[in-house]
Amino acid sequence: MWWNRPRKTSFLIIGLTALAIIASVHTASAQDVPMRTIDAEGIAAVTADTPEAVLNARDEAVKRALRRAIEQGVGALIDSESMAQNFQLLNDQIYSHVKGYVSEYDIIADNGGADGIYRITVRATVVLAQLRKDLKALNIIKHEKGNPRIMVLFTEVMDGMPISGAVAASKMEQVFLKHGFPLVDKAQMMAIQERDATLNYADPQKASALGRQFGAEVVIIGQASADLVDSSQPYGVSVFYYQAQISARAIKVDTATVMTSESVQSDWRKPGQGQGSGRMEAAKDALAAAGQMAADAMINQILERWRSEVYNTVMVQVVAQEVTGLRRKALLNELKSIRGVESVNERSFINKVLIIDVEVEGSIWNTFSDRLEQFETVGVTLTGKTQNRIDIELFDLQQ
């Protein structure tokens, strides 16, 4: 066809959409070669009988074929250990960076959009070395952060009135579970009253306390509302349209600090985002759609925060008990002398309790607490440790 485009391209940044696709793989073991040639097919529907629609379908089919090629490359590298368990997480993170993994490709089959379905088969060269490196990096992040447990706590209203069922929160939990994040036992959370959830959104300290109570390392607190925006009666059948809004924060339990925040809004004009024959049905549809959007956004932000802490620097809160004037001065000097400590900032010193924010390189975090007990000018006893907080007690060393 006259609208066909060149049949060879260096690489293409592709979107994250997949339909039924078929792939076949060539060459020997992926563990032994830096690159791999993969044949993969992508399929897309032609939505209109116009040249533009056909070109759009062709582009989408190419994207899906390349995405499938990357999937086959990832599959060749996944072993029987934790990578297999975290495949969905790797799926979302790895496939968004295809430009770095496909060095070139040929289109070896093109049906031209016959019968309203565009089929493209590509032969792609996938750079396994970079894939292996990034897969390993994602595994390191998950391991280094201790596979933190998540607790989701929301208040949800419909037309200004509280509703039961925790629709948005349940959808967010489903998304986090799908991506391999462990959740706090839901049965335990039944003890949390609605009043607590309302206070939590404005009070990270309270959210942190609840997180500690139920064994979570991260608490996601939020407010969700669904409001009627329109209604109609096509063919005499009532249809209601609801729009949902969510504001949410992810709180580090050990330090009560905000990791990330997100605000999203469903689009009631789109199917599956707030339309139904009943008010409750439409409202829950909108809340679930907004919950999906919020979870997708927050997962990426949380992972990026963890990635930065593992590979760059992490802020650690040191809480010291039994601090005198001399011990305080000695502790601050000792902390500043540790190789890998970027900054030491005193936050408060009240009733012999000293709170310090210490920025350390992610590479030394695992051994940082051990180093504290080796100080030469002040004695340190480790009394507690979490991801981002270390509790210690000071004493005078024997001279």
Quick: pLDDT tens for 245-272. Answer: 999 999 988 888 888 889 999 988 888 8
Return the minimum-mean-pLDDT range out of 93-107, 230-244, 308-322.
93-107
Write out the two tokens for 389: 């907080």
Residue 115's alpha-carbon distances to 47, 65, 107, in angstroms, are 11, 19, 20
Domains in the chain: ranges and CATH: 8-144 (3.10.129), 150-310 (3.40.50), 313-395 (3.30.70)
Whether the Cβ atoms of residue 276 and residue 239 lie closer than 8 Å to each other: yes
Answer whether residue 90 shows pLDDT above 60: no
Residue 288's alpha-carbon distances to 226, 232, 263, 283, in angstroms, are 10, 22, 14, 9
**Nearest 10 degrees: CA dihedral of 86, 91, 96, 97?**
70
Q: Is 374 exposed, middle or buried (0-12, 13-18, 19+ CB in 10 A)?
A: exposed
Q: pLDDT, tens digit, for every residue of 119-133? A: 999 998 887 777 666
Q: pLDDT, tens digit, for every residue of 169-213? A: 889 888 888 777 778 766 555 555 454 555 566 677 887 887 877
Could you count the other beta carbons within 10 Å of the beta carbon of residue 53? 16
Q: Is 34 exposed, middle or buried (0-12, 13-18, 19+ CB in 10 A)?
A: exposed
Whether the Cβ atoms of residue 296 and residue 172 lie closer than 8 Å to each other: no
Mean pLDDT over 301-314 rounds to 77
Question: Percentage of the chain surpassing pLDDT 70?
Answer: 75
Q: Cβ neighbours of residue 293 under 8 Å, at least 6 residues apart?
A: 246, 264, 266
Which of the four pLDDT bands, split at 50, 70 and 90, describes residue 99?
low
Write out the two tokens for 380: 């340190």
More confident residue, 79 or 227: 227
Whether the Cβ atoms of residue 129 and residue 88 lie closer than 8 Å to each other: no
Q: Report the length, in residues, of the chain.
A: 399
Per-residue pLDDT at 174: 86
Query: Could you give the maximum distance between any two Cα atoms of the chain, in Å?
Result: 91
More confident residue, 371 or 21: 371
Which of the four pLDDT bands, split at 50, 70 and 90, describes residue 243?
very high
User: Model pTM?
Assistant: 0.58
Which amino acid, 198?
A: T
Which of the four pLDDT bands, split at 50, 70 and 90, describes residue 75?
low
Q: pLDDT, tens digit, for every residue of 14-52? A: 332 332 232 333 333 444 557 888 899 989 889 888 888
Which residue has tokens 């959409």?
A: 17
Q: Cβ neighbours of residue 353 under 8 Å, at least 6 residues apart?
A: 319, 320, 321, 323
Per-residue pLDDT at 15: 33
